[in-house]
Chains A and B, each alone.
Chain A
Amino acid sequence: MVALAVPYVLRSDFWLGFLITVLLFAALGMAWNILGGYTGQFSFGHAAFFGTGAYTTAVLHIGLGLNPWLGLATAAAAGGLVALLVGYLSFRYGLRGSYFALITLAFAEVLRILANSAEFTGGGVGLYVPLDLGIANLQFADKAGYYYVALAFAVLSLVVGWMLERSRLGAQMMAIRENEDAAQALGVDTFACKLKAIVISGALTGIGGAFYTHYYLYIDPGIAYGPGVSVEILLVPIIGGLGTVFGPLAGSAVLHGAGELARRLMGDAPGLSLIFYGVLLVVMVRFMPEGLMGVVWRIRRRSETQADA
């Protein structure tokens, strides 16, 4: 309810823009979390799904006039399809850990190079979505419209995570994360289960890419398939708390809050954000390996034991 009223209270484009980014990356972080946090398969190349979603809607909208709302759905399908391919090739051959991470990174890089050289993706120049305001066209005169779309996307992702935590698939995913052999011994089809996880993750990430395209009305290979977006997506749940429902939301708020602060203090020099992400990652892994949600739990547990005493 509070989230719905925000645009009426907060009439600043800057802050709405900030919240849109937070919500978009909360949703993307949850998408990564489903595969990385719950299933334990760390991807370094979620840009492969993000970029595919972004380009799918851009190409179909510009070339064939596909409605952008349908573009979101098509992007989900395309992201899921690429995920299925990556997942099939990796999991069929039993790739785990850093090998899996490297395969996903390689896929994203290959797609970036392809997008850079293909004609229908606009090559290195990228693609511009023509300005044509209207709800039917997923283009809004002010940021409030985009805010609601981002909010719906974040809610969708969180609900998917919430449902997974209460389902057999979710239980099996966590079992795989904890011990794949034991999961298999107990009748879990680990291959099928990991495929489902990566497809759900890829489909959600594809939607995020499509939203990006229609929000900024522009996409190029570096934005869509670059390592920057892969890193940003995986940082969100790592900061917030892996394998938790609210971790990605908390992580996204902190990541972009701190990012905004850093930009104000140090200016917007190129490459600075990647350095910032790197430092943040090291600090998190060193001092808060369970993320913000882990800290919340610890505080809650401490206050509970104090209440017991």
Chain B
Amino acid sequence: MLEVRGLNKSFGGLLAVADVSLRVTEGDIVALVGPNGAGKTTLFALVSGFLRPDGGTVTFAGQDVTGLAPHLVCARGLVRTFQVVQPFGRLSVRENIAVGAHLRFAERGEAMARAATVAQRVGMSHLLDRPAHALTVAARKRLELARALATEPRLLLLDEVMAGLNPTEMTEMIRIVRGIHDGGVTVFLIEHVMQAVASLAERVHVLNYGRLIAEGAPAEIARMPEVIEAYLGHGAAERMTAHAAGGSR
């Protein structure tokens, strides 16, 4: 579904993404993890057309999409969410989601109806008429997801949708993401919360200083010394191991 080959991106002297190659197979949930500043968001920006790579290729659904404008990438069925949520503040939740729905539905009434359906899938039905700027952090994260979902993607890139959520909200979000995946959408997600990674992803790619340093099942990578080292905090790796052992499906 998605194939990244030899992707490079530098900002000035800083190599943010260095020779990254990876593959996301249709129907999978794949995670991308790594310490702060590893280049995860940059990789998503390169894949979704927000940044132009210095080198390498991005292939989506068998077609080369390297350097394609974001709206065209989105039209082909690859959509991203933003780590720092970007709501249309003065528009209502319904109108926010309808912007995504308009990609497939030209008619206003139809897009608004689709928005209500999508809101239901992410548990936002009761917030439809609330202006986006008045939402809580958790609701904003859901809105970010809902808008992307409304574009009817085949591949969804989620950039830290769990960040800032309390345990209850996180459990709910995991359930929502799983529901989206069950609906036939391939998911590629960046996540710092190892508990979420372990309970959602089948495969994990680990990025450090722009380079992929490991790849495998959540339980496997948590045991790799280079991964533990990259994170410094051994705690993260241990928690992950515990969870993968206890919480696998």
State whether the Cβ of A178 lies closer than 8 Å to any Cβ in chain B.
Answer: yes
State whether the Cβ of B14 lies closer than 8 Å to any Cβ in chain A.
Answer: no
Most A-side CB within 10 Å, residue of B50, B71, B75, B80:
B71
B151 touches A186 (CB 8 A): yes
Which residue in A171, A182, A189 is a CB contact (below 8 Å) of B98? Answer: A171
B88 touches A182 (CB 8 A): yes
A182 touches B71 (CB 8 A): no
State whether the Cβ of B219 lies closer than 8 Å to any Cβ in chain A.
Answer: no
Could you tell me the distance between the alpha carbons of A182 and B148 in the complex, rounded to whole angstroms?
Answer: 10
- In the complex with contacts A171-B98, A187-B151, A178-B82 CB distance below 8 A: no
State whether the Cβ of A179 lies closer than 8 Å to any Cβ in chain B.
Answer: yes
A187 touches B100 (CB 8 A): yes
* CB neighbours of B224 from chain A (8 A): none
State whether the Cβ of B111 lies closer than 8 Å to any Cβ in chain A.
Answer: yes
Could you tell me the distance between the alpha carbons of A206 and B201 in the complex, rounded to whole angstroms?
Answer: 57
- In the complex with contacts A171-B108, A181-B50, A186-B95 CB distance below 8 A: no
Could you tell me the distance between the alpha carbons of A166 and B89 in the complex, rounded to whole angstroms?
Answer: 19
Could you tell me the distance between the alpha carbons of A178 and B99 in the complex, rounded to whole angstroms?
Answer: 12
Report the tally of A-B residue pairs with Cβ distances under 8 A.
Answer: 79
State whether the Cβ of A245 lies closer than 8 Å to any Cβ in chain B.
Answer: no
State whether the Cβ of A184 lies closer than 8 Å to any Cβ in chain B.
Answer: yes
B108 touches A167 (CB 8 A): yes
What is the CB-to-nearest-CB distance from B34 to chain A, in angstroms, rounded to a whole number?
22
* CB neighbours of A286 from chain B (8 A): none
Q: How large is the interface on B (under 10, 10 to 19, 20 to 34, 35 or more residues)?
A: 20 to 34
Q: Mark B70-95, 1 if CB is under 8 A from A, else 0.
A: 11001100011110001111110001
State whether the Cβ of A129 lies closer than 8 Å to any Cβ in chain B.
Answer: no
State whether the Cβ of B102 lies closer than 8 Å to any Cβ in chain A.
Answer: yes
State whether the Cβ of B211 lies closer than 8 Å to any Cβ in chain A.
Answer: no
A178 touches B91 (CB 8 A): yes
Q: Which B residue sits closest to A186, measured CB to CB?
A: B100
Residues 154-196 of A at the B interface (beta carbon under 8 Å): 166-168, 171-172, 174-175, 178-179, 181-190
* CB neighbours of A186 from chain B (8 A): 74, 79, 99-100, 103, 147-148, 150-151
Could you tell me the distance between the alpha carbons of A183 and B111 in the complex, rounded to whole angstroms?
Answer: 15
Could you tell me the distance between the alpha carbons of A178 and B132 in the complex, rounded to whole angstroms?
Answer: 11
What is the CB-to-nearest-CB distance from A255 to chain B, in angstroms, rounded to a whole number?
24
Q: Which A residue sits closest to B75, measured CB to CB?
A: A187
What is the CB-to-nearest-CB distance from A167 to chain B, in angstroms, rounded to a whole number?
6
Could you tell me the distance between the alpha carbons of A140 and B48 in the complex, rounded to whole angstroms?
Answer: 59
Could you tell me the distance between the alpha carbons of A179 and B106 in the complex, rounded to whole angstroms?
Answer: 21
Could you tell me the distance between the alpha carbons of A261 and B98 in the complex, rounded to whole angstroms?
Answer: 45
What is the CB-to-nearest-CB distance from B211 to chain A, in angstroms, rounded to a whole number?
26
Which residue in B50, B88, B107 is a CB contact (below 8 Å) of A179? Answer: B88
Q: Which B residue sits closest to A188, measured CB to CB?
A: B71
23 inter-chain pairs at a CB distance below 8 angstroms, sorted by A residue, are A167-B108, A168-B106, A171-B95, A172-B102, A174-B88, A174-B95, A178-B90, A179-B87, A182-B82, A183-B88, A183-B99, A184-B50, A185-B48, A185-B79, A186-B100, A186-B147, A186-B148, A186-B151, A187-B75, A187-B79, A187-B102, A188-B71, A188-B99
Other than the known A168-B102, A178-B89, A187-B74, what 4 A-B pairs have Cβ atoms closer than 8 Å? A171-B102, A184-B71, A185-B80, A190-B71
